[in-house]
Structure 1
């Protein structure tokens, strides 16, 4: 697998090119998007973010003043809106209490400390934390999502029950620590999942079809 990682990236990039991820104008907007995208399609996140923007709520001060119920109403299109509103309010409160409301102070932490901090927040798991580290913090960490495990296991490159960290190491231990590479790689895997490697695989025309075991092709 190690010798194939650059080949995989090159095949995906040759077909789809730059993905321009993460589609956000500020660090805060990116962090909100990472929370909102949990268990929903990005098209729903876009609607929720548009609501926040329309109500002037893509800034710390507005989110701090808004009630959890108000935030839930703004982000309703993203689903699980009460739960996600609680995560957002929790994030805002932690930033105020421990970082003087400053994302600059938060991102001044070194990568291990920042990851530990993010994982301690309500509703923030490894994928969301690493998305924030990579896209908002510009740290060379590899984001693993369901699409990543799916295409790796279908190719026989990892067990379908492999842990998050073990899957991430497949990439971080064999590729240069390059923020832009990891950024683009994750975004291309998302595109792969949308176009070909969904719950029901569509292997015909997939840029990785030639690397797939013959008995696994859908």
Structure 2
């Protein structure tokens, strides 16, 4: 029987899971914390975003009603570790206002909205790109939407499963078409990709440590051959 792309993707996930274990993402205690974390994680490591989240929590500000009513300067001084803190403070305040006004600050009410409709609403918010919107959909609303980042494109283009320069939409479609539509799978698969990309498949990769280098004979990383 011919090996399919679905087989390849499942074998890659299995190899990553065996190497790293379940990643237990997104590292947030509540859906709203995951939403705010998605904004804070824009263009910065999760470590720095997490510090900003904890600052909000320690100040008693990790609350949608308080953030919606807060002055942006008051938010900004708490989220300095996340970088671009003035812009992110505005985005947090505006998102929180929408979350309160349109969803009653209820994550279940937000998650009940049809996925495509909710995604369009999030993308209409200032400063929200596809990765931020999809992170909220997957990790806060538990919708089966595959989150794409730079690690995803780097790893899977090196293995020849995606063309170099593949767009966000092309990459997302590739996973959606070749994996079972399952939020739990998409959740941990993305987390595994982040783990691999941040520790091994870096710009200067450590190919000898890569847990997917021997997934199957025809599947070989272009970098590892050079």
Taking structure 2 as the reference length, the TM-score comes to 0.91
Which residue of the partner structure matches residue 45 of structure 2? 41
> What does the per-residue CA deviation read over 1:103-152, in whole Å, with 9 as the maximum and x for residues that have no partner?
44322211111111111111111111111111111111111110000001
Tell me, yes or no, if the aligned pair for 1:34 and 1:131 is still in contact at 8 Å. yes
Residue 148 of structure 2 corresponds to residue 138 of structure 1 = no
Which residue of the partner structure matches residue 12 of structure 2? 8
* Alpha-carbon distance between aligned partners in 1 of 2:36 and 2:115, rounded to the nearest angstrom: 20
* Alpha-carbon distance between aligned partners in 1 of 2:94 and 2:112, rounded to the nearest angstrom: 20
Q: How does 1:1-218 map to 2 (within 5 A)?
A: 1-210=5-214, 213=220, 215-217=222-224
Question: Residue 214 and residue 96 in structure 1: after superposition, are their counterparts in 2 closer, same or farther (change >3 A)?
Answer: closer
* Alpha-carbon distance between aligned partners in 1 of 2:75 and 2:221, rounded to the nearest angstrom: 49
Question: How far 1:100 moved relative to its partner?
Answer: 3.9
* Alpha-carbon distance between aligned partners in 2 of 1:49 and 1:214, rounded to the nearest angstrom: 37
Question: Residue 202 and residue 111 in structure 1: after superposition, are their counterparts in 2 closer, same or farther (change >3 A)?
Answer: same
* Alpha-carbon distance between aligned partners in 2 of 1:146 and 1:216, rounded to the nearest angstrom: 16
**Once superposed, which parts of structure 1, at least 4 consecutive aligned residues long, lie more than 4 Å away?**
none
Taking structure 1 as the reference length, the TM-score comes to 0.94
Question: How far 1:214 moved relative to its partner?
Answer: 6.3
The alignment yields a C-alpha RMSD, in angstroms, of 1.6
* Alpha-carbon distance between aligned partners in 2 of 1:214 and 1:140, rounded to the nearest angstrom: 28
* Alpha-carbon distance between aligned partners in 2 of 1:71 and 1:38, rounded to the nearest angstrom: 16
Unaligned runs of 5+ in 2: none
> What does the per-residue CA deviation read over 1:182-212, in whole Å, with 9 as the maximum and x for residues that have no partner?
1110000000011111121111111012256
Unaligned runs of 5+ in 1: none
Tell me, yes or no, if the aligned pair for 1:2 and 1:170 is still in contact at 8 Å. no
* Alpha-carbon distance between aligned partners in 1 of 2:144 and 2:86, rounded to the nearest angstrom: 32
Question: Residue 4 and residue 118 in structure 1: after superposition, are their counterparts in 2 closer, same or farther (change >3 A)?
Answer: same
* Alpha-carbon distance between aligned partners in 1 of 2:138 and 2:68, rounded to the nearest angstrom: 25
* 2:131 counterpart SS class: helix
* 1:135 counterpart SS class: helix
